[in-house]
Amino acid sequence: MATDDLMTRALDTLGDDGAMSVEAIHSLTEPAEVSEPMAIAEVAGLLGISPHTLRYYERAGLVEVARDGNGHRVYDGAAVRRLVFLTRMRLSGMAMRDLQDYISLVDAGEHTVPERLDLLIEHRDTIRRRIRELTLSLTAVEYKIATYGGETGPDVQTPAVDRTARRALPAG
């Protein structure tokens, strides 16, 4: 799946130290300056998504793409920057409807900044809630690994479980 590949590339770029700074995120959201127009295959490769997804984003009204004399899509720097943002928001779980609303606000002009901010704050809160839920799930998995004598990850504290206690644990 293209989004899995994109997420893997993004996490590899950030490294294992867990330091997520504004600068690190900026490097993920700002591709190298696009000095000349790009074809759909080039943009798809850059973003780690399929040409089909790019055409879908265009049909959904999320990005406008010029055409050359032969009718082929030609992506300029602005289109690529928007697509980088769109792919990051999709990776974060933002619904297409919310992306469409956000892009409509952007296209409407600067007077919509407060509404855009509200939408992004709401999405941030959703992401934070999902992170808490995933952390709880990870802790449960790590606990179960510990009950079978396995090693837990460095960021999860699980109590030591002796053999007697392991037998008393529910199956599963």
- The residues spanned by each domain of the chain are 2-108
Q: What is the pLDDT of residues 101-145, one digit of tens each?
A: 999 999 999 999 999 999 999 999 999 999 999 999 999 999 999
Tally of residues, the chain: 172
| Stretch 68-81: mean pLDDT | 94
CB atoms within 10 A of CB 75: 22
SS3 91: helix
What's domain 2-108's architecture?
Orthogonal Bundle (1.10)
66 beta partners = 74
pTM for the predicted model, two decimal places: 0.70
Structure-block tokens of residue 108? 């409407």
Q: What is the pLDDT of residues 78-90, one digit of tens each?
A: 999 999 999 999 9
Residue 160, pLDDT > 80, answer: no
Residue 140, CA distances (Å) to 125, 128, 146, 155, 162 in order:
23, 19, 10, 13, 17
Mention every residue, 6+ apart, whose C-beta is less than 8 A from residue 165: 147
> 53 vs 15, which has greater pLDDT?
53
Cα–Cα distance for residue pair 91/87, rounded to 1 Å: 6
Q: What's the half-sphere exposure (Cβ side, CA atoms, 13 Å) at 65? A: 27
SS3 100: helix
> CA end-to-end span of the chain, whole Å?
29
